[in-house]
Structure formats: C-alpha cells, structure tokens
Structure 1
Amino acid sequence: MIAKPALLHPADYLDPGLYAAEQAGIFTHQWQFVGFAEELAEPGRFLTRQIAGEPVLVINMDGDLRAFRNVCTHRFARLKAAEAGQDSGLRCPYHGWAYDREGVPLGIPGNADCFGLDRAAKQGLALKRFALDRIGRFIFVRIAAEGPSLADAMAPHGELLQRLSDGFGPAFSQVAQPWAADWKIGIENVLEVYHVDAVHPESFRSVVDGTWRVAYQGPHSIGHAGMRAEALRWWEGVGKRLGLLAVPGLDHYVHLHLFPNLAIGITAGRLISVQTYEPTGPGRFTLRYRLCLALGGKQGAARAAVESHLTALNETLLGEDRAIAAEVQIGTASADRPALLGANEDRLMQFHQTLLALKNTHRLASGTPPSHPADEERQENRI
C-alpha cells in the first residue's frame, strides 16, 4: 500500500490539554508574523495579537518597534483593545499610567502621595518585552526570551521574503476571519492540492493545471503548481494594463509554508496572499490574510476593478475552505484512528513530523511526560 497513516491522532485536534501543551511547546518558541512595517510606520501606530496565550502589543515608539505584553502592570487592564490603531503614546486607559519606550511606567498619576515609587521600583514594574525582528517589511515576534535568530529560523527562505518585501506593495485587502476548526486542519488544507477538484471546481481549479511538486527545507516547505494557460494570459494582460512588475522566478503559482502557521501564496509573480493561522482555542482559529499586488502598478478604475475581482475570488476560495474545514473538525470528533495520507499528501506528513519533534523536544526539556497514550504509537509510526 502506498498510503500511510498520519502521525497525528484525532485527539491532537480536539483535546484542551494537548492544545495547551502545543501552545507552550510550539508557539512560545516560534517566530510569529504579526504584520507589515507600513502598518507600524508612524509613532504611536500599534497592532495587537494573541500568541501562545500571551496578549502582545507591537507599537512604534518614536520610530522604534517594540513588542510588549499588552497588560498594564498596575491593575492589569489591557493597554490597547483594538487590533490596530494609532495613539499619542503608551498610556493605560484605566488609571492613566504612561510607559516609556522601554516599557517603564514613568508617568504615574499621584505617585508621590499614593505610591512613592522611585526609579528602581518603576523599572521593576516595566512591561514584559518580547523579541521582535524583521525581514524587509515582514515583522515577527517571539514570546520565548531565548531561541534561534529570525534569519536562522526562516532559513533558507529569508531571501525570498526579502524579494517579496521589495517586490509587492501594501495590502489592498486585509481580513481576520474566525474558523470553526483546529489551526492544524487549516494548515493541512493549504499544504495539498488534492482537494482542489472537489472543493474549488470553479475557483482555484480555474487557476492551476493540476501539476504539483514540493521541496522541503528543514521545518518549512515550498510547493509549485502549474497555472492554466488562460490564467497566465489573464495575468499577463493585467500586468501590462496596470504596469505591474512581476517578481522574477515566480512565474506560476508558488506556495510557501513557514512553520508553524505562516503561508504565502504567490500567483504569477504579481499577487501574494499572506496568511496566518492563529490558534484561539481547541478546535478554532483566526485566519488573518492580506492580499498585495506587485509594485509599479497604476492607480485608477482599472486597478480598483482588478482588486475587487481578486478580493471576491479570494473570499470565494477561502469560504469553500472554511466550510470544509468545519466539516473536517466535526468529523474528527468521531474518529478513532489517524487519517490516511496518500503520496500526494506527503507535505502533511512532513508537517506532522516537525510538529511532533518540536513538541516532544520541549516536553523532554520541561520534564513533561507524553500527554496521551497515542504518543507512543505515533512515535513508532514516525520511525
């Protein structure tokens, strides 16, 4: 038999204890994409995210980007409630504590009469900081204080991220969408094209021709799909009409997966879809995506029409994926064995191997035993 059992057990998509272990063992230690530099270009601009259970605030502090825990150290109000915005400074909305660029509460109303905090005491109440780094316009945050550099973690794809950063403009469409499925189901869905004929017969199938090859680099992978001749002609025409400068070497459809939960689809070197699959609890996640066109484009009605068409196509495609992912989540609750993966789903096997290896590494480092009996069976399957 060519097919092999998957390395993940249904409990991996359902169990709250396993979800918590995954957050601690995987997401705490991995660099997470949070946004593009232009979203944080001016002082006071901020983004908020939830990473491995931590509320994270990424903010431009007088031209420098900082990542802090999004919680006031006084009585623990959230500093910023919105997912994005711009304020004059970093001030708690509850009692007005104001923080400097290092996260130290230097402005405390009534400090002399009511608190008596000196400089050292204020520094002891500084906001917790997280690691922040960037490749071009791509901004990443890591919760763990220690770990590989961003360049090492993204290798060998840092150069591709830089090319995409240099070759594409700001997002013309940006959406955060709740899905009723485990984040791994979302990732597994985009790692294969086997489902395209059944799930996307009128949307994505009209773009790709069915050919598919994959290359693996450490925990990451990159897939290449041929595009239909009519789709390539459409993009050639759009490129000429709008003056889009295609990024060289990305002529068809390229799909990059950067472990654990960042996926970038590149179409004809002229469109990128940047997607993060952000866990929000057992059996649910938020899909956050941005669509960007290549640089050099002309503004006007023609461009607006193209952007509207691409936005609608993307919404259709993701709506189809969202619906089937919810059905998979429901079905997984009744499953009593791992899924069966064909040779055309090998990319899922590599994803599972990486996930389990890192989870087990951090379990061993913390002295935590396997979380359920299926772990031993899955280890044997992987060997």
Structure 2
Amino acid sequence: MIKNSQFLKAIVPNSAYYNKETFEKEQERVFQASWYYVGLTLDLQEHNDFLTREIGGKSVVIQNFKGELKAFHNVCTHRFNKIHSKKCGNGPLACPYHNWNYNKDGIPFGIPLKKEFQGLDKESLNELQLTQFRLDTCGKFVFVNVSNDAPLLTEFLGSSAEKLLEISSMLGRKAEHYEIQNKANWKIVIENTLEGYHISSVHPNTFYKQGFNLKSTVDFGNHGDHTDMTLHLSENAEKDKKRERFHKLLKDRPFQPDGFYHLLVFPNLSIGSLFGVTAYIGSIEPVSENESVFSYDLYETNFGEGRLIDENISEVLRYSSIEFTRTTLEEDREICENVQKGIEQSNALIGVLNSSEVRIWDFQNTYMKFIEREENVLI
C-alpha cells in the first residue's frame, strides 16, 4: 500500500465508468471470479428461507435446506423460468411455471404429470440438476462464488476475515433494510465510500456536525484485495453530551472503533459503523454501465454474545441512526450521479488522487488485477 504520497494518478481509465463493453467484461472477470457477498445468515435462519442475487449476469438463489445453506442457478431446467422472483422470502425451491420442485441437491422431484415425460427416470432427473455454486460463510456473512477457479473464501478474505468476525459479534436488532437506486456506475459508488475527503462539503449536516472534517486523522488498513479505514474526530471537535451518554449506556458493546469505521470487501461488500453503536451492512450491486443499487441493512449493536440492548434505548437509537444513515447515503447518491454525468463528458483519460484517497488507488489496483486476467473457465 502506498503511504505518504501527495499525488497519485488513478489507474482505471474514465471510459471504464460508462463503457458498455467494459461492464460486460466485469460481469465475468470481476463478479463471477470473486467471492460475492450475498447476505447474512440472519436472513436465512429458517428452513426454506431464501435470497436471490444477480452475480455477474447469473441469477442465483441462496436457500436454507433444514439448516444447510446451498446456492444454485435460479433457473428451472424444464422451461427456464426463474424459480424465485423475489429478492427474499420463504418457500420451497419450486418453479411457479409448472411447479417443478427441487431438493437440496438441486435435483427435480414431485413433477406434475411425470409419466407424460418419456424416459424421465432417475438418471435423466440427475441430468436436469440445477447448477450448484460455491457457498461459504465468515461469521454471519454469506458469500457465493459462481466460478470454478477462485481460491477458498478464507484465502480470498485474508486478514479482513478477522474484521468480519468482529462485526458479526456486534450485530443486534435490525433497524431497517433500505435500497438506494443510483444513476451511477458501481465503481463510482464504491470509491465514494473509501475516503473522508468529501465529508465537510457533502455531509455538513451529518458527519461534519459529529466532528469529522478535513483535520480528522485517518488510519488506513490493507487486507490484500480489501481495505479499511478509521476516521477519527478532529482535535477541535466539540464534546457531544448526547453521544457521550450513549457511549456510557453502551459501554459493553463488543465493537468500539474510535470514530467512523469503514471496510470494503472487494468487490461489493461495504460496511460502515459510527463508534460501533450501529453498523450498516451494504452491498453495491451493478445494474448497467451507469446504474447501480446500494442495498443495506442497518443494525444496532448488542452487549456481546447476542444480548440485546434495552428496548427504550433501542427506540431512540433506531430513530437517530436511520435518519443519519439515510441522509448521508442520499447525499452520496446525489454526488455520485453528478460524477457520472461529469465523467462521461470529461476529456481526461484518468483522475487524480491525494494521500487521503489512497484506498481508491488500492481498489482500482485490485479491480485492474481482475479485469486484466485471462478469460476464466466458468461454470
């Protein structure tokens, strides 16, 4: 990782933020080749709970089969209808078109009018098995890889796994699930989360009021393809009695960063936590070369070992944290969409960075490592 650099040139060409051919290449070389964050085990606790995600142009279903999590291609092998159309829910792995059901191995069973299919025996049913994808977890975080050549998840995560385990331990009640539609390339949205340089100008009513500004010191961490940072309160920040009161009430919380903590697990997992009191677990999902969705779950902390905080404290915390997070990310959405418009009109080939934006350089370096790989042999 580069440190103490006053001037860095960006690595990713500006055209990669709006070029359709580049976006199509990313589907295979970045998203299909990576371990892609899909959700939390907290969303998949009951039998037949499911999530669906688009990963590199493939529709994927992640489903609980009596406590065992599996990931399959979310396309029926009979007439190719999507099996689950909702992003989440509870129900058997059954296609709504002709009611073909699939078991935990992805093999069809309980087929209506089965005798009308000539030669549909056990062997041929096995041939109609859904394509299964690799699934693994780190703490409460669930990842899927749709290629056949990625390293083990533990190897892919490196030292960021320790952070995911630490954050897993703090998750208490879910405050809300929220989605923000961005008319901006997914890389622009991610890069905006990687630095605090914009806080004073873009977030005057949220972070700036909390005491974060251009004089705030920042600690950067590098975890291979993944990075984190802790943005500290500026030295001249006024004491916030309300914040100090909350910190005292929540002094036993398991995760206590000294400021705003952010972790990016390449390519799509974005986690932010203000003093460990709450945390948003976000996923940046590419839609097209100039569209993306920022989906996040906002959690309040617990007192360790899953012990929930008092409901009265929770109610106050929930209201303030929802408002803070929504306001902040809405401000980010507006600036990202303006950047998208500007980058499409710019004559410059690349951008420039300063030392406080070094995580953008790291992200772009990882991105180019994936995008310049040879064609992958994918399932």
> Are 1:73 and 1:127, in contact at CA under 8 Å, matched by a contact in 2?
yes
SS state at 1:91 partner: coil
SS state at 1:354 partner: helix
Q: Return the offset for 1:116.
A: 3.0
SS state at 1:130 partner: strand
Match of 1:220 among 226, 246, 251: 226
Match of 1:245 among 208, 227, 252: 252
> Are 2:134 and 2:145, in contact at CA under 8 Å, matched by a contact in 1?
yes
Match of 1:351 among 363, 372, 379: 363
Whole-angstrom CA distance in 2 between matches of 1:353 and 1:99 = 41
Amino acid at match of 1:212: V
SS state at 2:178 partner: strand
Q: Return the offset for 1:249.
A: 5.4
Q: Return the offset for 1:195.
A: 0.8
Whole-angstrom CA distance in 2 between matches of 1:264 and 1:300 = 24
> Are 1:156 and 1:217, in contact at CA under 8 Å, matched by a contact in 2?
yes
Q: Return the offset for 1:108.
A: 1.2
**Which position in structure 2 is the counterpart of 1:234?**
242
**Which position in structure 1 is the counterpart of 2:333?**
322
Q: Does 1:259 align with 2:266?
A: yes
- Aligned positions of 1:177-196 closer than 5 A: 177-196=180-199
Q: Does 1:275 align with 2:282?
A: yes
**Which position in structure 2 is the counterpart of 1:341?**
353
Q: Return the offset for 1:358.
A: 1.6
**Which position in structure 1 is the counterpart of 2:300?**
293
**Which position in structure 1 is the counterpart of 2:208?**
205
Q: Does 1:150 align with 2:165?
A: no
- Aligned positions of 1:74-223 closer than 5 A: 74-87=78-91, 89-207=92-210, 208-209=212-213, 210-223=216-229
Point out 4+ residue stretches in structure 1 off by more than 6 angstroms.
none
- Aligned positions of 1:45-84 closer than 5 A: 45-84=49-88
Whole-angstrom CA distance in 2 between matches of 1:288 and 1:147 = 25
Q: Return the offset for 1:304.
A: 1.4
**Using CA pairs below 8 Å that are at least 6 residues apart, which structure has the higher relative contact order?**
2
Alignment deviations for residues 194-226 of structure 1 (CA, whole Å, 9 cap, x no partner):
111111111111232522131222111111111
SS state at 2:372 partner: helix
CA 1:61–1:183 in 2, change beyond 3 Å: closer, same or farther?
Answer: same
Q: Return the offset for 1:239.
A: 4.2
Amino acid at match of 1:23: Q
Whole-angstrom CA distance in 2 between matches of 1:244 and 1:80 = 43
CA 1:269–1:185 in 2, change beyond 3 Å: closer, same or farther?
Answer: same
**Which position in structure 2 is the counterpart of 1:27?**
31
Instruction: Give the TM-score normalised by structure 1.
Output: 0.90
Q: Does 1:303 align with 2:314?
A: yes
Amino acid at match of 1:13: Y
Q: Return the offset for 1:93.
A: 0.5
Amino acid at match of 1:237: R
> Are 2:10 and 2:353, in contact at CA under 8 Å, matched by a contact in 1?
yes
> Are 1:206 and 1:231, in contact at CA under 8 Å, matched by a contact in 2?
no
> Are 1:57 and 1:68, in contact at CA under 8 Å, matched by a contact in 2?
yes
Whole-angstrom CA distance in 1 between matches of 2:34 and 2:169 = 24
Whole-angstrom CA distance in 2 between matches of 1:238 and 1:42 = 33
SS state at 1:361 partner: coil
Whole-angstrom CA distance in 2 between matches of 1:244 and 1:150 = 33
Amino acid at match of 1:11: S
Q: Does 1:7 align with 2:18?
A: no
> Are 1:10 and 1:336, in contact at CA under 8 Å, matched by a contact in 2?
no
CA 1:170–1:304 in 2, change beyond 3 Å: closer, same or farther?
Answer: closer
Alignment deviations for residues 275-317 of structure 1 (CA, whole Å, 9 cap, x no partner):
1111011111110111111113434344212201110111110
Normalized per residue, the structure richer in helix is 1
Instruction: Give the TM-score normalised by structure 2.
Output: 0.91
